[in-house]
């Protein structure tokens, strides 16, 4: 079979048309999807509102936790806030300032490292 013969052979056939029953199978499902899609904006609206609330809450916490400086025995600590202070005191049952003083003197203490990491506390020479 050469190239022309193959072309002629292929031309002796045609593709099958779309089955008539497809219309009744496809369109009802597609229309249902269309109508279901109409309620999506309000659903998404609620989701967007929820996402916005979460984002605002996160920003508020970050702002509250961050970036004020307070001097402690020649050491500036940042970030610090009452939230961080209370969290450290609750979790480690230690006075915040005592704990900070210990951390500033003993940076090899793993417990201190965990606190530093968790609350993203950074010591800066004042």
Partner 1 sequence: MQGVEQQIVTLIEANDPRALELIYDTYADQIYGFLLGRFSDRREAEEVLHRLFLAIATNREKLLKAKRLADYLFIMARNEVMDYYRELKRHPQISLETMEPVLVSADDNETNRQEETKSLSQALKALPADQRIVIWLKFYMDKSFIAMSKMLGISQNTAASRYRYGMEKLKTLLCKEQES
Residues 15-74 binding partner 1 (CB under 8 A) are: 15-19, 22-23, 25-27, 29-31, 33-38
Distance, in Å, from the CA atom of 84 to the CA atom of 64, rounded to the nearest integer, reads: 9
Distance, in Å, from the CA atom of 18 to the CA atom of 27, rounded to the nearest integer, reads: 14
C-alpha separations of 46 from 37, 38, 61 in Å: 15, 14, 23
Radius of gyration of the chain (CA): 34
Nearer to partner 1, 1 or 110 (CB): 1
Q: How far is the CB of 46 from partner 1 (least distance, A)?
A: 19
Distance, in Å, from the CA atom of 40 to the CA atom of 62, rounded to the nearest integer, reads: 32
Nearer to partner 1, 6 or 61 (CB): 6
Nearer to partner 1, 41 or 74 (CB): 41
| DSSP run (H or E) holding 123 | strand 122-125
Nearer to partner 1, 3 or 46 (CB): 3
Q: How far is the CB of 33 from partner 1 (least distance, A)?
A: 4
Say whether residue 93 binds partner 1 (CB under 8 A): no
Interacting residues with partner 1 (CB under 8 A): 1, 3, 6-7, 9-19, 22-23, 25-27, 29-31, 33-38
């Amino acid at each position: 079979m050469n190239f022309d013969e193959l072309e002629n052979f292929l031309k002796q056939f045609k593709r099958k048309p779309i089955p008539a029953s497809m219309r009744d199978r496809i369109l009802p499902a597609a229309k249902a999807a269309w109508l279901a899609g109409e309620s999506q904006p309000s659903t998404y609206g609620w989701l967007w509102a929820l996402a916005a609330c979460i984002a605002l809450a996160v920003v508020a916490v970050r702002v509250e936790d961050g970036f004020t400086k307070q001097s402690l025995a020649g050491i500036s600590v940042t970030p610090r806030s009452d939230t961080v202070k209370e969290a450290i005191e609750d979790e480690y049952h230690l006075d915040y300032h005592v704990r900070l003083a210990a951390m500033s003197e003993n940076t090899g203490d793993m417990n201190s490292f965990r606190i530093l990491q968790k609350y993203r506390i950074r010591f800066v020479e004042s």
